[in-house]
Structure 1
Amino acid sequence: MPHADTLDVVHHDDTRTRFTDVRYQLHRDGIRIWSADGEHAITDVLMTQAYRQREADR
């Protein structure tokens, strides 16, 4: 499961939601995100931008 230091979700109405230090999974119905705040499921996804500033854990 990918990890991102910053994950921006762009919605169909061009609004953005930003998450930090998350794991995420893209799927046909949208994106599922796991953060310190809990689990989020977003279905109105136009685009995502994930940023990783450190090396991935192996």
Structure 2
Amino acid sequence: MPHADTLTVVHHDDTRTRFTDVRYQLHRDGIRIWSADGEHAITDILMTQAYRHRQSDS
């Protein structure tokens, strides 16, 4: 299951919902997100943006 430091969900009406430090699963009916606030299931998705910030090796 992918992990994201920041995850933005863009809805069909162009509103955005942002989450931090989450695990998520994309599926046919939308996205399921697990965060510190609990589990979220969102079905009205136009687009998602997930970022994972990693420390450099140098």
Q: Give your verdict on TM over 0.5.
A: yes
Deviation at 1:54, TM superposition (A): 2.0
Tell me how far apart the structure 1 counterparts of residues 22 and 6 of structure 2 sit (CA, whole Å): 7
Q: 1:35 corresponds to which residue? A: 35
- TM-score normalised by the chain length of structure 2: 0.92
Tell me how far apart the structure 1 counterparts of residues 31 and 24 of structure 2 sit (CA, whole Å): 7
In structure 2, stretches of 5+ residues that fail to align are: none
Paired residues for 1:1-58 under 5 Å: 1-54=1-54
Quick check: which has more Rg, 1 or 2?
2
Tell me how far apart the structure 2 counterparts of residues 3 and 45 of structure 1 sit (CA, whole Å): 19
Letter in 1 for 2:14: D
Letter in 2 for 1:34: W
Letter in 2 for 1:38: G
Deviation at 1:19, TM superposition (A): 0.1
Letter in 2 for 1:35: S
Tell me how far apart the structure 2 counterparts of residues 40 and 3 of structure 1 sit (CA, whole Å): 15
Number of residues of Structure 1 aligned to a counterpart in Structure 2: 55
- TM-score normalised by the chain length of structure 1: 0.92
In structure 1, stretches of 5+ residues that fail to align are: none
After the TM superposition, list the runs of 4 or more consecutive aligned residues in structure 1 that deviate by more than 6 angstroms: none
Letter in 2 for 1:33: I
